[in-house]
Amino acid sequence: MERFERAERLKRLPPYLFKEIDRKKAEVKARGVDIIDLGVGDPDLPTPPHIIEALKKAAEDPGNHRYPSYSGMGGFKEAVAEWYGRRFGVRLDPKSEVVSLIGSKEGIAHFPLAFIDPGDVALVPTPAYPVYHIATMFAGGESYFMPLVKENDFLPDLEAIPDDVAARARVMFINYPNNPTAAVADRAFFERVVAFAKEKDIIVCHDAAYTEMGYNGYQPPSFLEVPGAKDIGLEFHSLSKTYNMTGWRIGFAVGNPEAVDGLGAIKSNIDSGVFQAVQMAGIEAIAGDQSCVGEMRAVYTRRRDLMVEGLEAAGFRLRVPKATFYLWVEVPAGYTSARLATRLLEEAGLVVTPGNGFGEPGEGYFRIALTQNRQRLAEAIERLQKLNL
């Protein structure tokens, strides 16, 4: 018997589907097996040195030691607005249309508290990054799940959303380039989303964490590039993957000023902003020399090509991703996602993420993160080929 009964919102958390894989991973590791972890989307490469230098300098300045401004330093918000102008041709008012975040996860997790009341609906993709659904639930809302399936290029089918659901929906989450399917969205899809959201008065939250991870010159668009998107949309962004800064905890949300202001109002009652020295380093990241981003893309391109070729040679089927550092691979006939992941771990020491862990329609897939060096990836392919699945 627990002494302290947990709140309903924790009791209602969905079962943690990776628990079994985590347990087996520990077991296999304890046997002394050399594990190659292709599970986590956490870059293995270090943060570029010029960004670290900026942090060091800023950390020494006592002016940065006090509480930061809630919504972000003026300089950081201006750098974000300038970057949006340069990269996407989107104009933002740094004062009212940008808020800094303690990583984009923090902003996504807090957003429903600002706009979802008990009984309200959020339209949530599945399979997906789990935070959209859980944050909705924490706010007392209900998720209406929009399946992402191969036949529809892993885009939600807006026409399949029943009218009564759309009428109760306050928020829609989308994420392109997508985790976990690695799918991308074109402007035509974003235009359909804008029209739908305008008609139904829904705030669109576009999670854009992977826009800087396009391959072969492909530049994923911002949702806000579409005319009218700012009337209904907010975009979440992250420095985590673009600059190998997952541990630094810095991101931002931009777009509709009412949505930005609502999120800011929740945040100002929960956290006290991002450490200014980290924001100064963030300015250096987005406004400084961008050659590190090109180098990052070149690294993942080589890894992607190596891994796609190896997987195909081993008989696996997948779409070659145009963006993200994920591969969404079909499970061979005769396996479920979980059974395949277990076999790869137990017999080859490979950790992959079973697709159903991201939501039911992910069954039949597994996700590989390209967050190991090429030598380790080549080793992973060798082990896969030996398994002869």
Ligand X SMILES: Cc1ncc(COP(=O)(O)O)c(C=O)c1O
Give the residues lining the site for ligand X (CB under 6 A): 41, 103-105, 129, 175, 179, 207, 209, 238, 240, 246, 251
Nearer to ligand X, 240 or 276 (CB): 240
Nearer to ligand X, 106 or 330 (CB): 106
Cβ 292 to ligand X, closest distance in Å? 17
Place of tokens 């006592």: 62
Nearer to ligand X, 207 or 284 (CB): 207
Quick check: 156 and 192 in contact, CB under 8 A?
A: no
DSSP codes, 197-239: HHHHT-EEEEE-TTTT-BSTT--PPPGGGSTTHHHHEEEEEES
Cβ 182 to ligand X, closest distance in Å? 11
Work out the end-to-end distance of the chain between its first and last CA atoms, rounded to an integer number of angstroms.
44
Nearest of 36, 43, 44 to residue 382 by alpha carbon: 36
Q: How many residues does the chain have?
A: 389
Cβ 328 to ligand X, closest distance in Å? 13
How many CA atoms, within 13 angstroms, populate the side-chain half-sphere of residue 60? 5
SS3 43: coil
Rounded to whole angstroms, how far apart are CA atoms 349 and 83? 42
Cβ 127 to ligand X, closest distance in Å? 11
Nearer to ligand X, 52 or 378 (CB): 52
Cβ 238 to ligand X, closest distance in Å? 3
Cβ 334 to ligand X, closest distance in Å? 30
Rounded to whole angstroms, how far apart are CA atoms 35 and 345? 8
Nearer to ligand X, 129 or 145 (CB): 129
Nearer to ligand X, 143 or 238 (CB): 238
Nearer to ligand X, 130 or 310 (CB): 130
Cβ 48 to ligand X, closest distance in Å? 17
CB within 8 A of 274, min separation 6: which ones?
68, 72, 76, 100, 101, 102, 249, 250, 282
Rounded to whole angstroms, how far apart are CA atoms 334 and 11? 34
Nearer to ligand X, 244 or 337 (CB): 244
Rounded to whole angstroms, how far apart are CA atoms 264 and 140? 20
Rounded to whole angstroms, how far apart are CA atoms 349 and 347? 6
Q: What burial class does residue 153 get, using C-beta atoms within 10 Å of its C-beta: 0-12 exposed, 13-18 middle, 19+ buried?
A: middle
CA angle 153, 44, 207 (to 5 degrees): 40
Nearer to ligand X, 54 or 208 (CB): 208
SS3 16: coil
Cβ 73 to ligand X, closest distance in Å? 18
Cβ 240 to ligand X, closest distance in Å? 3
